[in-house]
């Protein structure tokens, strides 16, 4: 998987997503999810990391299920399997493909400012992940959630949210400043860029 050209992996990912969006049966979706997990294992990816990243949409799934009335168990299973399979495929793609190769391909048919926006979005995911890990540790050290003292818990949650916002903005500003020092002008250059 790591040696497959990024363009081929990107086409394969698009086809897999289209296929998963059109499959309506639980056995086929289960088989696709199992295939994605098998690919992750054979690619020697850290299984724990893959599973943790695959679980990120869980919160949105819970909100979705609570907002829909009269949904069947079969429909719930289909949605869960589809979302986890698509997420798993995307995770495998990003963990086996270098981001310069991804942006190099995207720059062939997308304008420079969109590539820059996608790059900053990509980087912000890691900034947010790092901030959330720090907040979780801080929240745990300060007592975590205590149902007997809701006021103190809300105070800690407010402090955690404030820390999260400040840390994220600070890290984004550092990245922006570092790129400006290196000559960044709203365009991501890469090896093989004819205009670079």
Summarised one tens digit per residue, pLDDT across range 87-113 is: 999 989 988 888 778 877 887 877 777
| Amino acid 82: pLDDT | 94
| Amino acid 26: pLDDT | 93
Q: Which of 2-6, 46-50, 145-149 has the lowest mean pLDDT?
A: 145-149
Between 145 and 110, the more confident residue is 110
Q: Taking the mean position of all CA atoms in its chain, how far away is CA 155?
A: 29
* 191 has a pLDDT exceeding 60: no
Cβ atoms of 102 and 119 within 8 Å: the answer is: no
Please give the structure tokens belonging to residue 30.
């289960």
DSSP collapsed to 3 states, 79-122: HHHHHHHHHHHHHHHHHHCCHHHHHHHHCCCCCHHHHHHHHHHH
Cβ atoms of 159 and 118 within 8 Å: the answer is: no
| Amino acid 195: pLDDT | 47
Instruction: Name the band, by pLDDT with cuts 50, 70 and 90, for residue 190.
Output: low
In the chain, the N- to C-terminal Cα span, in Å, equals 29
Average pLDDT of the chain?
80
Instruction: Name the band, by pLDDT with cuts 50, 70 and 90, for residue 114.
Output: confident
Instruction: Name the band, by pLDDT with cuts 50, 70 and 90, for residue 189.
Output: low
Cβ atoms of 14 and 113 within 8 Å: the answer is: no
Ramachandran category for residue 46: left, alpha or beta (phi over 0 → left; psi -120 to 50 → alpha): beta
What is the pLDDT averaged over residues 49-77? 83
How many angstroms separate the CA atoms of 81 and 94, rounded? 20
How many angstroms separate the CA atoms of 101 and 107, rounded? 10
Between 92 and 136, the more confident residue is 92
- Measure the CA dihedral 15/17/18/20, to 10°: 120
Cβ atoms of 41 and 117 within 8 Å: the answer is: no
**Domain regions of the chain by residue span:** 6-97, 110-181
């Amino acid at each position: 998987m790591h040696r497959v050209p990024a363009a081929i992996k990107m086409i394969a990912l698009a086809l897999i997503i289209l296929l998963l969006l059109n499959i309506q049966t639980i056995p086929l979706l289960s088989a696709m999810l199992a295939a994605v997990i098998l690919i992750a294992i054979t690619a020697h990816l850290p299984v724990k990391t893959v599973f943790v990243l695959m679980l990120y949409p869980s919160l949105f799934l819970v909100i979705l299920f609570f907002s829909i009335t009269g949904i069947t168990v079969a429909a719930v299973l289909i949605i869960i399997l589809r979302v986890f399979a698509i997420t798993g495929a995307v995770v495998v793609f990003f963990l086996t493909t270098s981001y310069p190769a991804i942006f190099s391909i995207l720059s062939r048919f997308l304008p420079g400012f969109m590539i820059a926006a996608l790059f900053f979005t990509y980087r912000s995911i890691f900034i947010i992940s790092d901030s959330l890990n720090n907040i979780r540790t801080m929240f745990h050290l300060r007592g975590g959630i205590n149902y007997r003292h809701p006021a103190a818990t809300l105070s800690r949650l407010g402090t955690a949210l404030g820390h999260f916002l400040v840390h994220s903005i600070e890290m984004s500003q550092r990245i922006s400043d570092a790129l400006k020092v290196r000559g960044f002008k709203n365009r991501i250059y890469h090896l093989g860029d004819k205009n670079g």
